[in-house]
Amino acid sequence: MLHLSSLRKSYGTLEVLRGLDLDVGAGQIMGLVGSNGAGKSTAIAIACGLLTADAGEVFVGAGAARVDVRNHRAKAAGLIGLAPQELGVYPMLSVKDNLVALGELAGLRGRGLRNAVGEVLDRMGLTAQLAQRADTLSGGQARRLHTGM
């Protein structure tokens, strides 16, 4: 579950969010549609903990697992996913090397890193493509790699 309440965000004198309220239930898929400059990207960045709202509340999860994004960004990041328009993969690296690079940036080493890479390959259905360069993947495979990262 995602809950946004009374979100406000300004950049200088430009107010981009004015009291946004939004609830997305568990298992729901949501898309935001609006004109350029309407605040869609800002709202999503706040929901994911990438930006801080000037006012309002953002929670992910439900019940005892409910997390305040503003005060617990790292914990909230494990509960919310974002599929941006542009993929965040390194095109010249193999699938495995993309996952290893990100794992190392996250502080994984040795057996923990190998296990994490193997688990992502399995879960994303990319084991057969582990040596393939990211820029040669199909659109769906590239999206799965991005999601696994």
10: in domain: yes
87: in domain: no
pLDDT attached to residue 15? 92
One domain for residues 56 and 100: no
Please identify which residue in the block is written with the tokens 């979100």: 7
pLDDT attached to residue 66? 82
pLDDT tens per residue, range 50-93: 889 999 999 988 887 888 888 887 777 777 766 667 788 899 99
Domain stops at, among 17, 42, 77: 77
84: in domain: no
Confidence of residue 28 (pLDDT cuts 50, 70, 90): confident
One domain for residues 69 and 118: no
Structure tokens at 18: 């004015």
How many independent structural domains does the chain possess?
2
Q: Which residues contact 54 (CB under 8 A, 6 or more apart)?
A: 8, 9, 10
One domain for residues 7 and 56: yes
Domain range for 17? 2-77
DSSP string, 70-100: TT-HHHHHTT-----SS----TTSBHHHHHH
Report how far apart, in Å, the C-alpha atoms of 91 and of each of 15, 85, 137 are: 37, 16, 9
pLDDT tens per residue, range 101-129: 988 988 889 999 999 999 999 999 999 99
One domain for residues 103 and 61: no
50: in domain: yes
